Chains A and B, each alone.
Chain A
Amino acid sequence: MCDACGCSVVGETRTIEINRRLLEANEEAAARNRRHFDEKGIFAVNLIGSPGSGKTSLLEKTIVAVGDDLNIGVLEGDIETDLDAQRIRAKGVPAVQLTTGGACHLDAALIHDGLHMLERRTDGGAIDILFIENVGNLVCPSLFDLGEHMRAVLISVPEGHDKPLKYPAAVRTSHALVVSKIDLAQYFDFDMDKIRKDALSLNPSLKILATSATTGQGLEEWIGLLRGKPGNTGAP
């Protein structure tokens, strides 16, 4: 028992200065992923957005539009089931399902494991673009760097134009904002100028696209963005 306060401390006390970032272990794993992507010439895209924002639909349309031009691989993040991976495989593209068993986000270690599983599935064949579809969530995935080159956040028209200001971290850490289901804008009180203005005030270098997986609007611009491979800023 110590003399000062009567607590149960018996030994001497020592303060160790650390000054490490809280998520440094994840950031180190992300940096290893990024090196691996670069060595293999893989362009990695992290898709984040709410459940039902249209991430898987955008991927399906992208796969069809790209055709045989580029080899695509997909890591599908979900809490449960491999339904999304099945949808992607049905398009003829290799996909590994990452089920988090409850976690609201993917982390860099899961991506590392998933990538190796995907590479086994492709028998070492080249992957030009790796899509990582994150768990449907507009909050937690923003904090976890996966080693991606580009982060794209989807916000669909029915969710509303107020989402950038309500979920600022997702917009601040992304390179692109994809406003999905734009064909529904006529049925909703949706202000594209407002979402654009708010998103740019949070992130002035953000690329903003309006897309529809139903009509195909904006898909060409989206694929152009993927081909253009915007600079690797190491988000977040």
Chain B
Amino acid sequence: MKPWEQRTGKAAVHEVSVALGIIDELMRIARRNNARSVLSVRLKIGQLSGIEIGSLRFAFDAVKLEHPMLSSAELLIREIPLRYRCAECGRCFDAGGRIAVSCKACGSRDLKVVSGEEQHIENVELEI
């Protein structure tokens, strides 16, 4: 195989990619604010986001060690429950973290996701 026919990427399960993205963002913010260190980062992650929180914590704690400024950074995660609204009867219900295919009240399959798709960095606490 010739080098111009192939491009090789960095190894990662997707939570590692997410963790690397958070770390890039933290380093950018820390430098811009002339911070001594990053104390914590607060995330909002929905149950339907496709991000496994345990895997993300594991990945974050592993990759943060490459940056002394982040070595004691704490990952604070607010998990957002998966909630649906039924387009038929208007009722909202908590799906208990599982995909719902029909309304618990009227059985309609026309459901809209109200919350649970979030995947955001909310804020960062810096030591200046």
Contact = CB atoms under 8 A, between A and B. Distances in A.
Q: Do A and B come from one complex?
A: yes
Contacts of B4: 117, 120-121
A209 interface: no
Nearest to A2: B127
Nearest to B41: A18
A17 B45 CA distance: 16
B119 A21 contact: yes
Interface in A1-57: 8-26
B27 interface: no
A23 B25 contact: no
A105 interface: yes
A160 to B, nearest CB: 17
B50 A143 contact: yes
B126 to A, nearest CB: 5
B39 A9 contact: yes
Given A18-B121, A18-B123, A19-B122, A96 B11 contact: no
Given A13-B39, A14-B128, A82-B1, A117 B7 contact: yes
Contacts of A82: 1, 5-6
A102 B12 contact: yes
Interface string B18-33: 1001101100010001
B36 interface: yes
A144 B109 CA distance: 27
B50 A21 contact: no
B3 to A, nearest CB: 10
Interface residues of B, number: 47
A103 B127 contact: no
Contacts, number: 151
Interface string A125-155: 0000000000000011011100000000000
Nearest to A9: B127
A97 B7 CA distance: 7
A235 interface: no
B33 A14 contact: yes
A24 B24 CA distance: 11
Given A23-B119, A25-B21, A13 B126 contact: yes
A103 B126 contact: no
Counting chain A CB atoms within 10 Å of each CB, the highest count among B1, B5, B33, B127 belongs to B5
Interface in A57-105: 82, 85, 96-105
A114 B7 contact: yes
The 3 A-B pairs with the shortest beta carbon distances in the complex, nearest first, are: A102-B11, A140-B14, A201-B101
26 contacts: A9-B39, A15-B124, A15-B126, A16-B33, A16-B126, A21-B120, A25-B24, A26-B17, A82-B6, A97-B6, A99-B6, A99-B7, A100-B9, A100-B11, A101-B8, A101-B10, A104-B14, A120-B4, A139-B50, A142-B50, A143-B14, A165-B99, A169-B48, A198-B101, A201-B109, A204-B110
Given A22-B45, A101-B11, 8 more contacts: A14-B128, A21-B119, A82-B5, A100-B11, A103-B17, A168-B48, A168-B99, A201-B101
